[in-house]
Amino acid sequence: MIRTDPAAAQGRVALVILNASLGVLLVPIVLGLILAGVGTAFEMLIGRGPWGQKLGEAGMLLVFSPFLSFFACLLAIPAAAWALRRGLAGWAVASLAGMFATFVVFAVVNRDLDLTVVYVSAIFGLPFGGLYWLSARIMHRDVFTV
């Protein structure tokens, strides 16, 4: 799943990128709300404890992540268009591009290039890049069947 079919993507590059971007922006919100709900249920059923609180915090982190993911998507659009036109828009390229875009966004937000930026970009960028690819593949299976 490293290569794609550039002939199938021809004329649909913008639609593939739009669907992938919407997946990256909307799926974390839904997952975050589910996690926050599970965390709240834990706190109501078990009582105040670390599990419910941590699940709720992770959920809220996911709910608000599209505020930064939006900028990473803007950075990833030219790379995704280039890769789709050349047949290189596989999961590995998308994950690395997600990591790079996240690195740039966190470097700008943090205003410092320390190891924290590298760790954060790897922890969040790789899965978000994979989600970007998965969203595009689910919506446009024929482009990703090489």
Give the number of domains in the chain.
1
Predicted confidence (pLDDT) per residue in 76-85, tens digit: 889 888 988 8
In a domain, 59, yes or no: no
Question: What is d(CA 7, CA 76) in angstroms, rounded to the nearest whole number?
Answer: 21
For 81-117, give the DSSP string: HHHHHHT--SHHHHHHHHHHHHHHHHHHHH-S-SHHH
Find, among 103, 101, 34, the residue nearest to 62 by Cα. Answer: 34
Residues 20, 135: contact at Cβ < 8 Å?
yes
The lowest-confidence range among 8-12, 33-37, 62-66, 69-73 is 8-12
In a domain, 52, yes or no: no
Q: Does residue 92 lie within any of the structural domains?
A: yes
85-101 confidence digits (pLDDT tens): 888 888 888 888 888 88
What is the domain extent for residue 82? 6-25+66-144
Q: And the tokens for 127?
A: 């899965």
The one-character DSSP state at 121 is: I
Q: Answer whether residue 51 is part of any domain.
A: no
